[in-house]
Amino acid sequence: MNNNDILRRIRFAFDFGDSKMMSVFQMGGHESTRAEISNWLKKDDDPDFASLNDKLLATFLNGFIVENRGSSSKEMIPEKRLNNNIILRKLKIALSLKDLDMLEVLELGDFKLGKHELSAFFRRPDQQHYRLCRDQVLRKFLQGLIVKYRGIVPEDEDNPDKK
């Protein structure tokens, strides 16, 4: 999954308008314009499409954490490089989700995962049981958020029989 697709899905799941998106970016430490956000949200084949880099997505996710949990005394510095594990962790923190909540969201996204498999995503990368979060898991988690917060079951691009 690319960063723009992740941003689109989060926006859709929580029904954020442009003003809200600009506010969340601002809370993360980036002053964005409506045009900038609009270009990030465009489809990849649109001529005005602009790619969202890892640092900007990390800034948005940090702003999402501040929006939902409040600011902390420690400054949140956006990561220069993101992976699905970091994105999943930031969403978990922003939404104050426990492991069972996350498993429930994954089930809403039509994906079964065990508690131990989930905890492996949140371990240190040098830890023996650490596992990389694949795109499919993050995609299903974001689909589960859409079902949970919007009540909309999106089309499943992984399973053409469900379309």
For residue range 68-81, what is the model confidence (pLDDT) as tens digits?
998 876 778 999 99
Instruction: Return the pLDDT at 160.
Output: 42
* pTM score of the predicted model: 0.90
Q: Each residue of 142-159: pLDDT tens digit?
A: 999 999 999 887 665 554
- Domain shared by 64 and 93, yes or no: no
By CB neighbour count within 10 A (0-12 exposed, 13-18 middle, 19+ buried), where does 35 fall? Answer: exposed
- Domain shared by 93 and 27, yes or no: no
Kindly state whether residue 135 falls inside one of the protein's structural domains: yes
Q: Give the angle subtended at the CA of 145 by the CAs of 18 and 49, to the nearest 5°.
A: 40
Closest C-alpha to 88, from 110, 128, 117, 127: 117
Q: Which residue, 82, 110, 142, sits at the end of a domain?
A: 82
| Domain limits for position 24 | 1-82
- Domain shared by 8 and 53, yes or no: yes
- Domain shared by 58 and 77, yes or no: yes
1: which residues sit within 8 A by CB, 6+ positions away? 84, 135, 138, 139
Q: Which residue, 58, 82, 106, sits at the end of a domain?
A: 82
Q: Which residue, 65, 82, 99, sits at the end of a domain?
A: 82
- Domain shared by 38 and 103, yes or no: no
Give long-range contacts, CB 8 A cutoff, 24+ apart: 4-7. Answer: 4/40, 4/41, 4/44, 4/49, 4/51, 4/52, 6/57, 6/87, 6/138, 6/142, 7/40, 7/41, 7/52, 7/57, 7/60
Count the neighbouring beta carbons within 10 Å of the beta carbon of residue 151.
Answer: 7
- Domain shared by 125 and 147, yes or no: yes
- Domain shared by 70 and 40, yes or no: yes
What residues of the chain score a pLDDT lower than 70?
A: 73, 154-163
- Domain shared by 22 and 76, yes or no: yes
